[in-house]
Every structure is written in C-alpha cells, then in structure tokens.
Amino acid sequence: MSLSDSPFVNRLNTNYVPSESEILQIRALLVDPMDELARVDSQIEVLEITLGQLKERRAVLQEPIDAHRALISPMRLIPHDVLLEIFFACLPTKHNALIDHNEAPLLLGCICRHWRDVTYSTPMLWSSIHIPFLHYLSTPSNILLGLEKIVAGWLARSATCPPSVSLFDFANRVESNPTLKDHPIVLQLLAVSHRLHRLGLAGDAEFLRPLLRLGPEDVPLLKRVQVETMAYQMVPSMNILRAPTLEDVKLASALGDPLSLPLQWSQLTSLRLQCYECRDGVSFGGGLDFDGALDVLRKCPNLEQCEIEVTKSSAHLGLTRDLPPIILPRLHNLLLGGWHFLLENWSYDLVAPNLRFIQIGQDNIIPSGLNCLRADIDPIRFTLTGLHEFLQSFPMISHLRLTSAQPPPDFLDDEFIGLLCSPHNLCPMLTDINLWSESSSRRSPYMRSVRFSDAAVLAFIKARMAMPIPLRRFRVQFARPMVLDIMPELQSFISDGLQITLEYPPQSKFMAQDGLAGPRSMVY
C-alpha cells in the first residue's frame, strides 16, 4: 500500500496517540516504503561515487585547458600603450599614490610577471607618492628602515619624471628627537628636489626646515607647494617660495607678515592662506586682517581660486581707502573666512567677471559645476549697511545663502527682506535663496533667529515670482512657531515648479513626567 492511501493521513502532524493495534498497523504500512527508500539511497551512493570520479577527471582536463586558454586571453593581446593607459587610469586623482599593495601602482605589480615588468619599468606610474608618518621613538627600526627603502625605490623608479610628493608628519618633533634634523626621508627628497613638481609638507617646522630652505635653483620645476605647521611654531624663512615656476600655494603656518612672503604673486593661479598671528599666546605681528587679505588679492591678477582666512582684527577695517580696484579677470572662487572682522561697509572695488562662488566668513566646501554666481554669506560678519553694499556690488548673484553657526544679527528682519522685493534694489538675478542658522536646531525656540514674519516671507515670494527672473527655490529656517500658514497661497507657484521649504521647530508637548529625575526631585 502507498502511504498516500494510509488510513492515518488525517492524523499526521497532530498530537494523536495511536493505540497498540494501530501501532502494529503503522509498522506494517512502513515495510514496503522503507525498502524502497533503502534502494534509492543505494542508487544515490553509486551516483555520488560516479560524480566524484567525473569531477576528478574534469579537473585533470580543466588545468591544461585553462593554461592554453590563458595564452589567447584578450588581456595578452592588448597593445603596450593601451595597457599603460589602463594603468594610468587606475592611479588616484584626488591625492598622491599611497604606499599600499591594495592600490595602484603597487597593486598592478602584484598581478603577474608581465604586469610587474610593465609597472616597474614605467616611471610615470611612480610620479606621485604620499609618505605617511611613523612615530620614530616608538616604531621598531626594521619598520622605519622598510619605509625608507620603499620611498627610495619609489623615487628611483620615477626616473626623470617630475614627482608629486606629500609628507604628513605631526607625530614627530625635532626638540624631542634631534636626529630628525638629518632624517633619511628628508634627505631623499632633497636629492630629487631639482625635479619636484608638487610638494606638500605638514608637520614640525624644524623637521621640514631643510626642504623649506631650498632655493630657486634647487626646485626649478616646482609648480605647487603646500606647507602646514603647528600653529604655535614660527616658520623659518621659506626660500622655497621663490621657485620660478610656482603657481599654486597653500600655507597654514605662523608666517609673520604674509605680504612680505617671497612669492612671485603675479603668476599665482591658486592661493590658500591661513597665517597665524601669535606664538605661545604672544603676538609677533603676523596674520592678516580683512584689508590685508584684499591687498593680497590686489597683488595676484591671475588668480583662479583663492581662500584666505582673516586671523586678526584691524582698527581701520571697512573704511574707504584710496586704492586701485582689484581686477581679477580669471577668478572663479573666492573664500574670505575667519572670525576677526566685521564689515561696517563694503567700499572695495572688486572686478571679477568670471566669479562663480564667493564666500564671506564661513568654512565650507566649494560647490562644483556652477555656471552662475553663488554667494555664501555669514551675516555675523556684516552690519546692515555692509551687507546691503556687498549685495549691491554683486548684482549677478543668482544663488544666495545667508547662514551662520551663531544666532543671526537683529537686522535680518522684515525690513531687510523687503529690500530684496524689488529688482532695482538688490540681486535682480536671484533665483535661489537660503536663510537659516546652522545652530537653530540646537537652540531653544526663545533664542534669537531670523526675524522675518510669515507675512513678510509671503510678500517676498510673491514679489520675486512677479519679476522677469522668478525664484526657483526658497528655504528659511525659523526658531519660532508658525504664526501664519502661507503655503495655501503659494500652491500656484509650487505647481509651476517653485520649491519652498519653511522649517519651524516642533511644537512643545505636555510631558507628565518632566522633572521627576531633576536635581530637586523628592521621594516620599
């Protein structure tokens, strides 16, 4: 009998307990099926033995087949120049190559003998290197020697190519380890200084001194230099800034008067300055005030990108000076940051027809892909008059962000936003505006925020939407509850594509347990 016809089908998978007679009946029912199961198991065992034998035979056949197919692999047929292009595409683009066997170029030499021969015989693959720091007082000597050998071999493989080198080491200081003055890696870089193309240095000023003192004859090909030292260290004379081909400079150090740096200012295309004013809490006359930052711009007519941090205050800040205009025909990005200035007025004549991004008083990342003028402004850096004059000076602003990490000034009120309601006043090209405070989400609703009323925001949006160039995006962040719901009156604009974001703090909720865990709670 087949078990499908069993009289116990309805009892299966239940808690039914059969009687003694039913147990005998079930055992009789299982005799034939269990014999059939044994026959199937026997067949499976035979087939598994046969399958194992076939797999062994297949492996014996597969090995020579794979070896022969490898001879006709498409990668073997790639011309040498195409293979090199593939290798070059594997190199990092946002930083120098790392000493890491999981990344190019070291990884390329681990694939096969042919790739290793190609990789190690192509100097351009070794034309950049980032040298990380090691603690020289605590790292085993064999590891230190290993790093020195890797760097030496790397620089040797670059042959005559102008290398790009970055050395980051804030872990070691000469005053605690005098042997660093003649460090082998620094000596290796000195040996190839005549062909250095880009050089990034960060660390102890005394440790970097031999490289900073290189003269124009030592670095005739140097186009980019970056130097960052500890804020309390006075940097020694940087003769390296006299390099005749230098175009890109980034300095974050205690430099004394930045305007006296031995740079060929007129040939710079990129400049980033963060010049500290004091050492061990004592001022030594360094740093830049806001007017000094603009004096730097005036010396660099070919700048395309500039970032300057204002690091000291100025008694005459914002006062009109009888100076020529600042003409920067190639400038795309301008960032003037720091917390040491308040612009009471904007009397500076800045002519930059290709400007795409200007930032005053913050520290953000430069946006990419801009084809119009965007202004990111911290209103804390301005008085009302200064901000008004600034916006009048840049009528081509289409994207405006007024953001701050601190409570915004009182003048960001209905009167201010009213100035933006007419194209004859401010920003006739404005399409995107963002008004908010980065810290508002962490503040009490009763603390100061933008003082625009809901009615003023509604009037502003309606006025701008009636202009020849209407708004596309509007965002404002309040630290107060909503007073007037303006969204119903804006639905027609939203249907036409206007993006509106109005952010209010969440309403307070009644919490019956508030205060129970407080310091004055009492238990009865």
The pLDDT tens digits for 367-414 are 777 789 999 999 989 999 999 999 999 999 999 999 887 777 888 888
Other beta carbons within 10 angstroms of residue 13's beta carbon come to 6
Residue appearing with tokens 């901000």: 387
Indicate the SS3 state at residue 267: helix
How far apart (Å, rounded) are the C-alpha atoms in residues 471 and 398? 9
What's the confidence (pLDDT) of residue 401?
92
Residue appearing with tokens 């390296």: 240
Report, as an integer, the average pLDDT of 281-310.
85
Considering only CA atoms, which of 408, 485, 402 is closest in space to residue 440?
408
What's the confidence (pLDDT) of residue 444?
41
Report the DSSP beta bridge partners of residue 402.
377, 435
Q: At what angle do helices 184-191 and 205-212 cross, to 10 degrees?
A: 20
- Does the pLDDT at position 439 exceed 50? no
Helix or strand holding residue 137 (H, E): none
Q: How confident is the model at residue 441 (pLDDT cuts 50, 70, 90)?
A: very low
Q: How confident is the model at residue 7 (pLDDT cuts 50, 70, 90)?
A: confident
How far apart (Å, rounded) are the C-alpha atoms in residues 61 and 63? 6
> Which residues have CB under 8 Å from 207's CB, separation 6+?
169, 172, 173, 174, 180, 181, 183, 186
What's the confidence (pLDDT) of residue 277?
66
How far apart (Å, rounded) are the C-alpha atoms in residues 94 and 82? 23
What's the confidence (pLDDT) of residue 440?
43
Q: What percent of the chain has pLDDT over 90?
A: 48
- Does the pLDDT at position 176 exceed 50? yes
Tens of pLDDT, residues 232-275: 666 767 899 999 999 999 998 877 788 888 999 999 999 999 88
**208 or 44, which is more confident?**
44
Amino acid found at 30: L
Give pTM, 2 decimals: 0.78
Could you say which DSSP state residue 365 is in?
A: P
β-strand 305-309 against 326-327: which pairing, if any? unpaired
Considering only CA atoms, which of 2, 62, 10 is closest in space to residue 29?
2
How far apart (Å, rounded) are the C-alpha atoms in residues 273 and 310? 9
How far apart (Å, rounded) are the C-alpha atoms in residues 306 and 358? 10
How far apart (Å, rounded) are the C-alpha atoms in residues 2 and 5? 6
How far apart (Å, rounded) are the C-alpha atoms in residues 164 and 127? 6
**380 or 506, which is more confident?**
380
Contact 8, 38 (CB under 8 A): no
Residue appearing with tokens 């598994």: 48
What's the confidence (pLDDT) of residue 226?
95
Residue appearing with tokens 């990789």: 119
Tens of pLDDT, residues 305-339: 999 998 887 654 445 556 788 999 999 999 999 87
Tens of pLDDT, residues 85-104: 999 999 999 999 999 999 99
What's the confidence (pLDDT) of residue 199?
96
The phi-psi region of residue 152 (left if phi > 0; otherwise alpha if psi is between -120 and 50; otherwise beta) is alpha
Q: How confident is the model at residue 446 (pLDDT cuts 50, 70, 90)?
A: very low
Amino acid found at 447: M
- Among 57-61, 227-231, 401-405, 514-518, the minimum mean pLDDT is found in 514-518
How far apart (Å, rounded) are the C-alpha atoms in residues 302 and 295? 14
Report, as an integer, the average pLDDT of 203-212.
86
What's the confidence (pLDDT) of residue 459?
93
How far apart (Å, rounded) are the C-alpha atoms in residues 362 and 364? 6
How far apart (Å, rounded) are the C-alpha atoms in residues 360 and 380? 10
Amino acid found at 259: L
- Does the pLDDT at position 83 exceed 80? yes
What's the confidence (pLDDT) of residue 522?
44
What's the confidence (pLDDT) of residue 479?
79
What's the confidence (pLDDT) of residue 362?
74
Q: What percent of the chain has pLDDT over 70?
A: 87
Other beta carbons within 10 angstroms of residue 30's beta carbon come to 12
How far apart (Å, rounded) are the C-alpha atoms in residues 437 and 477? 7
Taking all residues of the chain, what is their mean pLDDT, rounded to a whole number? 85
Other beta carbons within 10 angstroms of residue 437's beta carbon come to 25
How far apart (Å, rounded) are the C-alpha atoms in residues 45 and 34? 17
What's the confidence (pLDDT) of residue 364?
65
What's the confidence (pLDDT) of residue 447?
43
| Tokens linked to 54 | 């076939």
For the CA atoms of 266, 267, 268, 274, what is the dihedral angle to 10 degrees?
A: -50
Q: How confident is the model at residue 508 (pLDDT cuts 50, 70, 90)?
A: low
Q: How confident is the model at residue 30 (pLDDT cuts 50, 70, 90)?
A: confident
Report, as an integer, the average pLDDT of 117-139.
88
What's the confidence (pLDDT) of residue 82?
92
Considering only CA atoms, which of 418, 486, 501 is closest in space to residue 455?
486
Contact 264, 325 (CB under 8 A): no
How far apart (Å, rounded) are the C-alpha atoms in residues 169 and 130? 11
**475 or 5, which is more confident?**
475
Considering only CA atoms, which of 457, 455, 390, 452 is closest in space to residue 426?
390
Name the phi and psi angles at 166, rounded to 5.
Answer: -125, 135
